Amino acid sequence: MILDSFRLDGRVALVTGAAMGLGQGYALALAEAGADIVGLDRCNSDETGKLVTQRGRRYSQICADLREASVDDLNQMVGRVKTEFGRLDILVNNAGIIRRAPAFEFGEKDWDDVLHINLKSVFFLAQAAGRVMKEQGGGKIINIASMLSFQGGILVPSYAAAKSGVAGITRSLANEWAKYNINVNAIAPGYMATENTAPIRADAARNQSILDRIPAGRWGTPDDLRGIVVFLASAASDYMHGAIVCVDGGWLTR
């Protein structure tokens, strides 16, 4: 049956930024499809853990600030998942931050913090997870790109640079790792109602200008991304490599 190919029973997923927002949504969707979840976040993710276990799946959390994590730290986090659960089948590279300022005024720390979490950690977590997946005979890596993987944005130069890089990393790793049955793809969410977008949603004029461009006429929610993350994590997407899948309410069609 076709729906069986979407099942994730017996799989283990590592989701970064799992404590709230889109990351929590990804974790719950994967759990409902049958996967056990490890949530990596800089803050406590007990709420996500409770919701995962209510769905009958196991949950473990890793508390770490990716702004300060070294490559060795990232390798150890992936090693911990393998030690605790015996395997790692799915990585969702979701954790990210954003800093807003005019390009003439943009500071080095804001640049470095964003690039460290949104790009460097994405690559080195994928590298560590990919090594485990190669040994297992395959796996799924899902990076979180953005509309700014395609566009320049306004007042967010480091975020635009990082998300453009995420698209490039996704394609590069897909080229190298498809032969190992490792699928590397990305989701590019549109404008989502999350903590990151709270400042622009609070600006009435900016909020309206965004809504006016979205054919669907609304901001997205974590629920809008549940189906695509399960699809990319499952056998249903086994022939997809290097895709950047936009879930944007039609934003890019305008």
Whether the CB-CB separation of 29 and 221 falls below 8 Å is answered with: no
Task: Enumerate the β-bridge partners of residue 246.
Answer: 188
3-class state of residue 248 by DSSP: coil
Q: Which residues are catalytic?
A: 159
Tokens linked to 142: 């899902």
Interacting residues of 232 by C-beta distance below 8 A, sequence separation 6+: 140, 142, 183, 185, 187, 240, 245
Place of tokens 């997946």: 133
DSSP of 7-56: --TT-EEEEESTTSHHHHHHHHHHHHTT-EEEEEESS--HHHHHHHHHTT
Interacting residues of 111 by C-beta distance below 8 A, sequence separation 6+: 99, 157, 158
Count Cβ atoms within 10 A of the Cβ of residue 12 and give its class: 0-12 exposed, 13-18 middle, 19 or more buried: buried
Q: What is the DSSP letter of 104?
A: G
Sheet holding 36-41, edge to edge: 59-63, 36-41, 12-16, 90-93, 139-144, 182-189, 244-247
